C-alpha cells in the first residue's frame, strides 16, 4: 500500500508501516490498535511541543 506521509519528519515511518501491514493482512483489529497507538503518539508529540490547538477535540 502507498503511504503518502512517509517523507514527513513528524510522521514516524515505523508507525505507518505497522498500520499498513495490518491492513495488508486484512487484520482490522490489529489495524485499529496500530492506528490508536499512532494517534496517541502524535497527540503526545503535539502536547510536548506546545503545538496542540486548544480545540483539537472538535476536529
Short-list 11, 10, 30, CA closest to 19 = 30
Give 6-59 pLDDT, tens digit per residue: 665 555 578 888 999 999 999 999 999 999 998 888 888 777 666 656 665 655
Q: Which residue has the cell 495488508?
A: 24
**What local confidence, expressed as pLDDT, does residue 37 receive?**
93
Q: State the DSSP code for 40.
A: H
Backbone angles phi, psi at 20, to 5 degrees: -65, -40
Contacts 24+ apart (CB under 8 A), 2-10: 10/42, 10/45
Amino acid at each position: 500500500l502507498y503511504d503518502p506521509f512517509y517523507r514527513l519528519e513528524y510522521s514516524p515511518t515505523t508507525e505507518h508501516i505497522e498500520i499498513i501491514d495490518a491492513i495488508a493482512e486484512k487484520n482490522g483489529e490489529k489495524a485499529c490498535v496500530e492506528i490508536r497507538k499512532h494517534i496517541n503518539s502524535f497527540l503526545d508529540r503535539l502536547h510536548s511541543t506546545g503545538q496542540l490547538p486548544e480545540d483539537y477535540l472538535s476536529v
